[in-house]
Structure 1
Amino acid sequence: MSFQKEASATRSPAAVGTGTRASRSSVRWRLFILLLVLVTVNYVDRGSISVALPIIQKEFGLTPELVGLLLSAFFWTYAFMQVPVGWLIDRFGPRKVVTASCIGWGAATAASGLAGGFLSMFIARMGIGVTEAGVMPAGGKLNALWMHSKERGRGATILDAGAPLGAGVGGILITWLISAFGGWRMSFIIAGIATVTLGAFIWWYVRDNPRQHRAVNDAEAEYIEASHAAEDAAAEAGGSTARRGLLPYLRFRSFWAMCFGWLGFNGVFYGLLTWGPLYLAQAKHFNLNTIGWSTFVIFGAGFVGEILGGSLADRLRAKGYGANVVMRSLLGASSVIVTAGLVGVTIVGDPVTAVVLLSVVLFFLRWVGLFWAVPATLGGRTNAGVLGGAMNLSGNIAGFVTPIAVGFIVGATGGYTGALLYFVGSAIVMAASVLVLDYSKRLPV
């Protein structure tokens, strides 16, 4: 039995209506705050190696090229699993997939603390990539299932804001754990155990459908269902409500714009996530403690920017502006600022100014987290999982290419200017993509 049918059997929906604002419960927002925590922990674990890398590089005797290869290990398996895990989410529901993912990556993170050298750490990082793969596509699916269409901008950015928040918090947390326990190994083990515990809580609280959740009242359920009914009516008129595979979408410009936009975005974000701490250590001569706080400031700005970007998008939609006007205006402006900021970082020599510019870059870059509303727009609730998986696959191609490319650039040039220009190129790809994507309608497949 599919999870949609289970939802119907669990609790019969009342007649579709809008419900009054005063009487609606707010479980959907609490659910997304939990997903924010989940993604934050995800990025603490994912980025922990970058924070500890100055120590690990010295202990394992790694060249810049091997550092780049090690940083890419996570992304090879993470990218490979995106489309398969998207299919699993559409077939079995996000709750099962995200719980298994959380417990699995916690175990793999703890195991990475036992690595004895490059090879064993490489394998552990690949394991984290496999097990983390389901988190973001499942979040995109939950956004489609739980959020009213007018709230999906905030839902998408609350979900995705865990990435910069986790990178920022992780910078402080991992450096503190390293100091408190005298090394990087125990910090990884503790982080992994905490993640497994979170996985048990996810299973207890998350549901695949609002009607399955005991705390959701009829007013909230009806409010969400009214939005779904309107979307389904429009989709039925176009004949696009059935579950599809990925192939029918390959002929549409918007599908490719979604994929290349996310690839360009992650070329910048993953580049700064993986190499940022080492850049601060080697190019700006920061010590471990200063790296931790600088990382917190830079990625913390990204968290604030993403939350504000989502709220601004939903507010503009509520005022009657069309989806294309809102998304192209906001994301186009953010792309220009990101590109200019990265060019600025290549010019300035002062470390504090570089941190300020990188903070501005992250603030506006994270507006593109609005893309997590795009799979539901293009494919509807039924196909949001597989489209989210395809989008994240594209982004994580940048994830495994970028660390290796930066490693070779740094190794060949002995500096980071070429790497920063690589990020500028990624931002230009992102800019072109966000401007050609049609955010206003479901694809007619």
Structure 2
Amino acid sequence: MTTATPAAPSPAKGTPFRGRIRGKVLLLLCCMYAISYIDRTNISTALPHITEDFGFSETTAGVVVSAFALPYALLQVFGGTISEKAGPRRALFVITVLWGVATLWTGLSVGFWTLAAAPFLLGLTEAAAFPAATQAMSRWIPRDRNGFAQGVVHSAARLGNAVAPLLVAWVIAATGNWRWAFVATALLSVVWALVWFVWFRDRPEAAKGITDAELSELPPVETRATRPPVPWRQLARQILPVTFVDFGYGWVLWVFLTWIPTFLSSTYGLEIGSFAWFTSGVLLAGVVGDTVGGVLSDRLIHRGGDTRHARRVVLVIGLGGSLVCLLPLVFGQGLAVATVALALSFFFLELCNANLWAIPMDVAPQWSGTASGFTNTGFGIAGVVSPIVFGALIDASGWQLPFALSCALLAAAAVVAWLMDPKRLTSVDGRLEVGTPSSERGHA
């Protein structure tokens, strides 16, 4: 049975984080997101050294990087469902310890197969990480701040992107060996896991020191404390278009995460100490873009816009802006123009990230782990295909053609983002209710 969900009033302004336990939860999740991307992208900075040590071609290097994305893509939905059953406290503890082991393994690799196995294990363990974190946010974050919360944590992820080249370059310069960079970053994961498990609580009402006022600002108890059976068919129908948009976004993001250090090194002859700074400068633009994208869409909702319109407007602006700024790379440019174009392209691209992760919280708050797993499958598939195809095109024709293909995918994703119309799914007394776009007005 399907009925329209009654509209809820839109707050005049977002509920606060300062002085609330949820602010500490969000801060701790920010640290996790940053560490996860340090562990994902440290291999990109070390890749020139790794390929030199092992004699890899660019295509082979792309295969190694893609080894992360195959299990990451395949286990997104499964990982999100498992994290809902286990609860984010236990799930994220196990996940972060295991990905710390995977990161350490990278530093101990001795050839192609052992090196490829390390990112494979990392992808296997990280597959459930962001769905589990989204489940935690669905319990702890007021609905009118979904975009802001996702923007902030993904800004932290991009900060991890930006810090990783400098951290890895510093460790390599200090030790003379790229392997120690992976030992150092592995320790960060284990430390975070211990802090999370000791402090975090799955149920806000079980948290020490939480007030009735803060509990009243959180999502309804049935959203954060119950988990009815997943409506797989209806959920897939709402989320699959978002998955395609996430694929287009993810393709270009993987280009930035995988190939920018190599692009700067091979095209402009920069040494690691130089291209690490240029890479960090490009990736820092994403730190700003993530938070701006989330805040912008939340503000559109607070001013009376419906959720669908707010999310899709920011998505189209982000995808279109990234496309336009990436065009100079198709024709080849000097170092200064290329760096500015890449930074602006990455800023616009990251306007999308918070909105792509907020949509599952908007659409299916009771199944946000599974729904976000559906969405992030697009990013995972892009991670399998993008590094391999991009690397093969570089070997075959240089850098212009793969950048042109990236622009085409951004255009396709922008069209789908404008046309998609996901609706809210909720279970009330065992009945599935499907909200219409008008009934979503004022929800976040």
Instruction: Specify whether residues 249 and 35 from structure 1 end up closer, same or farther in structure 2 by C-alpha distance, changes over 3 A only.
Output: same
Alpha-carbon distance, 1:351 to partner: 0.7
User: What's 1:318 paired with?
Assistant: 302
Instruction: Specify whether residues 47 and 24 from structure 1 end up closer, same or farther in structure 2 by C-alpha distance, changes over 3 A only.
Output: closer
**1:365 maps onto 2:346 in alignment:** no
Aligned pairs (5 A) from 1:170-249: 170-225=164-219, 242-249=228-235
The one-character-per-residue Cα deviations of 1:70-108 (angstroms, maximum 9, x if unpaired) are: 110111111122121111112121111111111110111
User: What's 2:360 paired with?
Assistant: 375
User: What's the secondary structure of 1:297's corresponding residue?
Assistant: helix
**1:351 maps onto 2:335 in alignment:** yes
- Select 1:134's aligned residue among 125, 128, 132: 128
How large is the Cα RMSD of the aligned pairs? Answer: 2.3
Instruction: Specify whether residues 366 and 215 from structure 1 end up closer, same or farther in structure 2 by C-alpha distance, changes over 3 A only.
Output: farther
User: What's the secondary structure of 2:268's corresponding residue?
Assistant: coil
- Select 1:442's aligned residue among 413, 425, 432: 425
Structure 1 unmatched runs, 5+: 1-19, 233-239
User: What's the secondary structure of 2:108's corresponding residue?
Assistant: coil
The one-character-per-residue Cα deviations of 1:199-234 (angstroms, maximum 9, x if unpaired) are: 1111122222211211321111111145x67x89xx
Instruction: Specify whether residues 149 and 290 from structure 1 end up closer, same or farther in structure 2 by C-alpha distance, changes over 3 A only.
Output: same
Q: Is the 8 A contact 2:83 2:369 kept in 1?
A: yes
Cα distance in 1, alignment partners of residues 22 and 359 from structure 2:
19
Alpha-carbon distance, 1:242 to partner: 3.1
TM-score, normalised relative to structure 1: 0.88
Cα distance in 1, alignment partners of residues 423 and 119 from structure 2:
38
- Select 2:72's aligned residue among 56, 73, 78: 78
Aligned pairs (5 A) from 1:108-119: 108-119=102-113
- Select 1:283's aligned residue among 262, 267, 286: 267
Q: Is the 8 A contact 2:76 2:374 kept in 1?
A: yes
**What amino acid maps onto 1:131 in structure 2?**
T
Cα distance in 1, alignment partners of residues 27 and 228 from structure 2:
30
- Select 1:95's aligned residue among 70, 81, 89: 89
Alpha-carbon distance, 1:247 to partner: 3.6
**What amino acid maps onto 1:421 in structure 2?**
A
Alpha-carbon distance, 1:68 to partner: 1.2
Q: Is the 8 A contact 2:158 2:283 kept in 1?
A: yes
User: What's 1:296 paired with?
Assistant: 280
User: What's the secondary structure of 1:207's corresponding residue?
Assistant: coil
Cα distance in 2, alignment partners of residues 85 and 245 from structure 1:
17
User: What's 2:311 paired with?
Assistant: 327
Alpha-carbon distance, 1:315 to partner: 2.2
Instruction: Specify whether residues 26 and 419 from structure 1 end up closer, same or farther in structure 2 by C-alpha distance, changes over 3 A only.
Output: same
The one-character-per-residue Cα deviations of 1:316-359 (angstroms, maximum 9, x if unpaired) are: 22222222332222221122111111112222411111111111
**What amino acid maps onto 2:418 in structure 1?**
L
The one-character-per-residue Cα deviations of 1:173-194 (angstroms, maximum 9, x if unpaired) are: 1111111111110111111122
TM-score, normalised relative to structure 2: 0.88
**What amino acid maps onto 1:320 in structure 2?**
G
Cα distance in 1, alignment partners of residues 402 and 268 from structure 2:
15
Cα distance in 2, alignment partners of residues 24 and 440 from structure 1:
31
**What amino acid maps onto 1:383 in structure 2?**
W
Alpha-carbon distance, 1:441 to partner: 3.1
Instruction: Specify whether residues 408 and 87 from structure 1 end up closer, same or farther in structure 2 by C-alpha distance, changes over 3 A only.
Output: same
Aligned pairs (5 A) from 1:264-275: 264-275=248-259
Alpha-carbon distance, 1:433 to partner: 2.5
**Percent sequence identity over aligned pairs:** 27
- Select 2:410's aligned residue among 413, 427, 431: 427
Cα distance in 2, alignment partners of residues 245 and 394 from structure 1:
20
User: What's 1:11 paired with?
Assistant: none
User: What's 1:237 paired with?
Assistant: none
Cα distance in 1, alignment partners of residues 56 and 289 from structure 2:
35
The one-character-per-residue Cα deviations of 1:261-281 (angstroms, maximum 9, x if unpaired) are: 111110000121111111111
Instruction: Specify whether residues 184 and 322 from structure 1 end up closer, same or farther in structure 2 by C-alpha distance, changes over 3 A only.
Output: same
Cα distance in 2, alignment partners of residues 22 and 422 from structure 1:
42
Alpha-carbon distance, 1:439 to partner: 5.2
User: What's the secondary structure of 1:113's corresponding residue?
Assistant: helix
Alpha-carbon distance, 1:23 to partner: 11
Alpha-carbon distance, 1:163 to partner: 2.7
Instruction: Specify whether residues 348 and 407 from structure 1 end up closer, same or farther in structure 2 by C-alpha distance, changes over 3 A only.
Output: closer
**What amino acid maps onto 1:392 in structure 2?**
N
Aligned pairs (5 A) from 1:29-68: 29-68=23-62
**What amino acid maps onto 1:216 in structure 2?**
I
Q: Is the 8 A contact 2:139 2:219 kept in 1?
A: no
Q: Is the 8 A contact 1:143 1:373 kept in 2?
A: no
Aligned length: 414
Instruction: Specify whether residues 276 and 246 from structure 1 end up closer, same or farther in structure 2 by C-alpha distance, changes over 3 A only.
Output: farther
Instruction: Specify whether residues 422 and 212 from structure 1 end up closer, same or farther in structure 2 by C-alpha distance, changes over 3 A only.
Output: farther
The one-character-per-residue Cα deviations of 1:291-332 (angstroms, maximum 9, x if unpaired) are: 111111111110111112212222222222222332222221
